[in-house]
């Protein structure tokens, strides 16, 4: 025999069992007593056995009722627990936020944002995927990441972009390099210098290429590094100089290198939040994006 009760039926049964009174249970359930009696009667008909023995003064469980009660209590508890978890998710208090980010943005912008976010939402897990700009955009477009922290995509397609900070480029050299004695460096000063370049697929390389195009220069770009740490290490070894955005400066400073303002032209990339257009974010992801965009959150860029 297959028995199927609805949650309202189970809840009604539990309330009568807890109170020992149809009258009291009906009041607590905000239903009429005849309606409650009908609910219990339908349950009894479904199982072919009485659930309560009733007289004018007492309502007590039958053996069938005793057997059903722990099952019913477990059903009600699991339902309350499940919908309690749903309420926490809808309130942004539970869940996971996956952020794809440029390595420089992940290193400088995300840590302070995560500290503040987890103070407000300790039940939310934050996952970071640091990668190059095209991979960040692909992760967001494919739904692998909820948010992207990256440059404005050249071809956004179905992606939406919200600017966050501006990131100026600076010249990077060793302390004993001629650039270190200069107050500022122009892009033309790279003409006769070994220039250590980032990989063609990186957002940094796109900006340095644009700067050299504007100045009419075609310097030999060496090594084409995929990782900022490699670029910085090569400069530190005296193999050349480079140009990097401000967000990379913690890594540059850690290597003991010198930076100088880079002018003529001033190259500035926009770093912002990337999302899938027309797709709803989870409450937790929306809270994280709002924190990043909040006027109270002002990332302090290295200078």
Over residues 200-221, the pLDDT tens digits come to 988 899 999 999 999 998 888 9
> What is the spatial distance between Cα 137 and Cα 274, in angstroms, rounded to a whole number?
7
Domain boundary pick from 90, 125, 154: 90
Residue 152 within a domain: yes
pLDDT for position 4? 81
pLDDT for position 79? 86
Residue 301 within a domain: no
Q: What pTM was estimated for this model as a whole?
A: 0.71
Mean pLDDT of 112-123: 93
Mean pLDDT of 9-21: 93
Q: Which domain holds residue 83?
A: 7-90
Q: Is the peptide bond before 268 cis (omega within 30 degrees of 0)?
A: no
pLDDT for position 154? 81
Over residues 179-205, the pLDDT tens digits come to 999 999 999 999 989 999 999 988 899
- pLDDT band of residue 301 (cuts 50, 70, 90) is low
106 shares its domain with 123 = yes
Contact criterion met (CB below 8 Å) for 244 and 227:
no
146 shares its domain with 273 = yes
134 shares its domain with 275 = yes
160 shares its domain with 283 = yes
Identify the CATH number of the domain in which residue 33 sits: 1.10.10.10
pLDDT for position 298? 55
65 shares its domain with 128 = no
Asked if residue 84 has pLDDT above 80, the reply is no
184 shares its domain with 250 = yes
> What is the spatial distance between Cα 264 and Cα 256, in angstroms, rounded to a whole number?
26
> What is the spatial distance between Cα 42 and Cα 26, in angstroms, rounded to a whole number?
16
> What is the spatial distance between Cα 225 and Cα 137, in angstroms, rounded to a whole number?
20
Residue 159 within a domain: yes
- Rg (alpha carbons) of the chain, rounded to whole number: 32
Which among 153, 190, 230 has a CA at the least distance from the CA of 182? 190
143 shares its domain with 223 = no
pLDDT for position 264? 94
Domain boundary pick from 32, 64, 90: 90
Identify the CATH number of the domain in which residue 224 sits: 3.40.190.10
233 shares its domain with 258 = yes
157 shares its domain with 276 = yes
> What is the spatial distance between Cα 236 and Cα 259, in angstroms, rounded to a whole number?
12
Residue 299 within a domain: no
Domain boundary pick from 48, 66, 90: 90
Query: 224 — alpha (psi -120 to 50), left (phi > 0) or beta?
Result: left
> What is the spatial distance between Cα 216 and Cα 142, in angstroms, rounded to a whole number?
38
Question: Domains in the chain: how many in total?
Answer: 3
121 shares its domain with 172 = no
Asked if residue 228 has pLDDT above 80, the reply is yes
- pLDDT band of residue 10 (cuts 50, 70, 90) is very high
180 shares its domain with 161 = no
68 shares its domain with 202 = no
Q: Residue 50: phi, psi to the nearest 5?
A: -70, 145
From residue 36, alpha-carbon distances to 15, 29, 177, 238 in Å are 10, 9, 88, 85
> What is the spatial distance between Cα 119 and Cα 136, in angstroms, rounded to a whole number?
26
């Amino acid at each position: 025999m297959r028995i199927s009760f609805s949650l309202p039926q189970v809840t009604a049964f539990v309330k009568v069992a807890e109170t020992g009174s149809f009258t009291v249970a009906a009041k607590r359930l905000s239903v009429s007593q005849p309606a409650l009696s009908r609910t219990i009667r339908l349950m009894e008909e479904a199982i072919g056995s009485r659930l309560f023995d009733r007289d004018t003064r007492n309502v007590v469980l039958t053996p069938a009722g005793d057997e059903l009660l722990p099952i019913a209590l477990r059903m009600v508890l699991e339902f309350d627990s499940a919908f309690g978890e749903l309420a926490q998710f809808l309130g942004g208090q539970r869940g996971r936020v996956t952020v794809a980010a440029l390595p420089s943005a992940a290193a400088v912008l995300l840590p302070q944002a995560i500290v503040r976010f987890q103070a407000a939402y300790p039940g939310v897990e934050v996952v970071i995927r640091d990668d190059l700009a095209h991979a960040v955009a692909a992760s967001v477009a494919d739904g692998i990441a909820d948010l992207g922290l990256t440059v404005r995509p050249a071809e956004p397609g179905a992606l939406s972009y919200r600017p966050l900070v501006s990131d100026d480029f600076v010249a990077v050299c060793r302390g004993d390099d001629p650039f270190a004695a200069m107050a500022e460096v122009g892009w033309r000063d790279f003409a006769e210098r070994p220039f250590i370049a980032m990989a063609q697929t990186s957002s940094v390389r796109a900006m340095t290429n644009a700067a050299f195009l504007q100045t009419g220069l075609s310097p030999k770009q060496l090594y084409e590094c995929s990782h900022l740490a490699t670029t910085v290490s090569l400069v530190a070894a005296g193999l050349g100089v480079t140009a990097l955005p401000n967000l990379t400066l913690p890594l540059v400073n850690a290597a003991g290198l010198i930076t100088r303002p880079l002018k003529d032209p001033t190259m500035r990339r926009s770093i912002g939040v990337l999302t899938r257009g027309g797709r709803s974010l989870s409450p937790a992801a929306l809270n994280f994006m709002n924190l990043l965009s909040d006027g109270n959150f002002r990332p302090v860029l290295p200078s």
